[in-house]
Amino acid sequence: MRFLTLFLVLLSLNLKARQNNTFKPQSNKSKKSKKLKNNGNNLLDKFQISYQLNGFSEEQEAKMELALEKLKIAVKSEEFKQAVLNHIYKGQRRFYKSKGMTNQEVYDHILRGVEDLSPIEDFEMDLKLTLYHSKTNTVGYTYPNTNEIWVNDKYFNKYTLGEVANNAMHEWLHKIGFEHSYYNNPDRPYTVPYAIGEIIEDIVNKL
């Protein structure tokens, strides 16, 4: 009886040892991280601008089209990427009113092109631009319930291509959810629409 008990104990220990030595597949976490990194790089290749122009003369249309072409070049540039990733607000790499996003997330959100009213990841800046005339100080505006952006020809006609691109980018950034205060204050230049618009203007004026 003792021999039988000893035999059963040894058999049990042997089975446990075999179970502990069973092959376990390696985690694919590193592969997923690498894949996400590759996808991030692909965002830049996919990014495009589509637009519809209303109320523009042939000359004005040509100016806007050139500004948008340079805007696309600017967004795809390494200079733009580094300026967004390294933007500083109050001593930290971040934007004011960035919806809780890091600078990297803001950059990726721009490239994915997901407008609030058309929540499809199409990697496009979809613009519906309408020219109008007003003697006010408003350069351009839009509303949350429409994809349309109104551009004041009082400023458009005399603006540089960089300033035109700045305004287009600024208003479109509202379309993908970024906001700023209505009244000017010390923090407003650090919001996504204002800060990134200025980055775009600087790059486009150098192209």
Could you please report the per-residue DSSP string of the chain?
-HHHHHHHHHHHHHHHHHHHTS--PPP-HHHHHHHHHHHHHHHHHH-EEEEEEES--HHHHHHHHHHHHHHHHHHTSHHHHHHHHT-EETTEE--BT-TT--HHHHHHHHHHT-BTTB----SEEEEEEEEE--SSS--EEE-TT-SEEEEEHHHHTT--HHHHHHHHHHHHHHHTT----SS--TTGGGBHHHHHHHHHHHHHTT-
Torsion-angle region of 171 (φ positive above 0: left; ψ -120 to 50: alpha; else: beta): alpha
Range 49-204: architecture per CATH? 3-Layer(aba) Sandwich (3.40)
Binned at pLDDT 50, 70 and 90, residue 44 comes out as confident
Binned at pLDDT 50, 70 and 90, residue 103 comes out as very high
The answer to whether residue 196 scores a pLDDT higher than 80 is yes
The answer to whether residue 182 scores a pLDDT higher than 90 is no
The answer to whether residue 85 scores a pLDDT higher than 80 is yes
Binned at pLDDT 50, 70 and 90, residue 45 comes out as confident
| Residue whose token pair is 């496009």 | 124
pLDDT, position 191:
98
The answer to whether residue 39 scores a pLDDT higher than 70 is no
The answer to whether residue 41 scores a pLDDT higher than 80 is no
Structure tokens that stand for 163 in this block? 């300033």
CA 171 – CA 148 distance, rounded (Å): 10
| pTM over cut 0.75 | yes
CA 34 – CA 196 distance, rounded (Å): 28
The answer to whether residue 120 scores a pLDDT higher than 50 is yes
pLDDT, position 13:
41
| pLDDT (average), residues 97-126 | 95
Positive or negative, the CA dihedral 150, 156, 161, 164 is negative
pLDDT, position 108:
96
CA 105 – CA 176 distance, rounded (Å): 13
Binned at pLDDT 50, 70 and 90, residue 128 comes out as very high
Binned at pLDDT 50, 70 and 90, residue 3 comes out as very low
Look at 17-21, 22-26, 147-151, 191-195 and tell me which has the smallest mean pLDDT: 22-26
- Count CA within 13 A, CB hemisphere, residue 74: 28
